[in-house]
């Protein structure tokens, strides 16, 4: 572990990073409050989250599924106090296999409820890094999703917690927790794909 950390550190100065420069400017004359790596991670995670949202909104389902590690889980708890996706009701609790069922269904010509035009727009913000190690990152963020289906607009908003594992320059998701503030509200029609 220590060796891997050292080797990452050794390669860092070769890559110019906007976040690093920004912090250097604001903490001029003092030692940085956090190691430079934190800013790199934040920016990389933000870019990852934006890409994930973009894949959803442009309906690139397979690429979206590929953001998940083998064994990765997309989880939307039924209730905010839940601490595990296993053995409790969940609005979503899907591994990659179940995600493929959902994708194939949506793409099937006889998925009747999918025939009306629908689209979504996700905004992701308030990104913070909760924990990180050489291998893993846990990031928290907030989302707002607007959906148009036929002439009806719905809004879902809430928080994401991404458990990410580093793979080269980017990440794969081992667990994504999605807590909409309206998880226990009534559903006028259901959620068709991931939020």
DSSP 8-state code for residue 14: G
* Min CB(153)–another protein separation in Å: 15
Smaller CB separation from another protein, 15 or 150: 150
- Cβ partners under 8 Å of residue 68, min gap 6: 74, 96, 99, 172, 173, 174, 176
* Min CB(101)–another protein separation in Å: 5
Q: Tokens 């959906």 — which residue?
A: 147
* Min CB(103)–another protein separation in Å: 8
- Give the chain's length: 195
145 lies in the site for another protein, by CB under 8 A: no
- Other C-beta atoms lying within 10 Å of the C-beta of residue 47: 13
Smaller CB separation from another protein, 89 or 119: 89
131 lies in the site for another protein, by CB under 8 A: no
- Nearest CA to 101 among 16, 193, 34, 18? 193
* Min CB(43)–another protein separation in Å: 31
- Cβ partners under 8 Å of residue 48, min gap 6: 67, 162, 164, 170, 171
Q: Which of 16, 28, 110, 169 binds another protein (CB under 8 A)?
A: 110
Per-residue binding string, another protein, 69-108, x by CB under 8 A, is -------x-xx-------xxxxxxx---xx-xxxxxx--x
Q: Is 71 left (phi over 0), alpha (psi -120 to 50) or beta?
A: left
List the structure tokens of 150.
């036929």
Smaller CB separation from another protein, 113 or 133: 113
121 pairs with which residues across the strands? 146
185 lies in the site for another protein, by CB under 8 A: yes
44 lies in the site for another protein, by CB under 8 A: no
* Min CB(96)–another protein separation in Å: 10
* Min CB(58)–another protein separation in Å: 20
Spatial distance between the Cα atoms of 121 and 110, rounded to a whole number of angstroms: 25
134 lies in the site for another protein, by CB under 8 A: no
- Other C-beta atoms lying within 10 Å of the C-beta of residue 135: 12
In the complex, which residues of this chain contact another protein (CB under 8 A)? 76, 78-79, 87-93, 97-98, 100-105, 108-114, 184-192
């Amino acid at each position: 572990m220590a060796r891997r950390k050292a080797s990452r550190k050794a390669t860092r100065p070769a890559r110019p990073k906007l976040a690093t420069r920004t912090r250097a400017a604001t903490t001029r004359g003092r030692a940085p409050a956090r190691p430079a790596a934190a800013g790199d991670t934040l920016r990389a995670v933000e870019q990852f989250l934006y890409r994930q949202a973009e894949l959803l909104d442009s309906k690139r389902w397979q690429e979206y599924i590929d953001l998940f590690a083998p064994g990765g889980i997309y989880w939307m708890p039924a209730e905010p106090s839940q601490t595990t996706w296993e053995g409790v009701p969940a609005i979503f609790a899907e591994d990659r296999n179940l995600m493929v069922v959902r994708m194939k269904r949506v793409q099937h010509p006889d998925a009747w409820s999918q025939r009306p035009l629908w689209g979504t727009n996700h905004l992701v913000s308030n990104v913070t890094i909760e924990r990180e190690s050489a291998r893993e990152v846990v990031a928290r963020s907030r989302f707002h999703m607007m959906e148009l289906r036929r002439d009806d607009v719905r809004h879902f908003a809430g928080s994401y917690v991404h458990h990410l594992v580093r793979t080269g320059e980017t990440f794969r998701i081992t667990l994504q927790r999605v807590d909409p503030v309206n998880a226990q509200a009534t559903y006028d029609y259901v959620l068709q794909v991931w939020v």
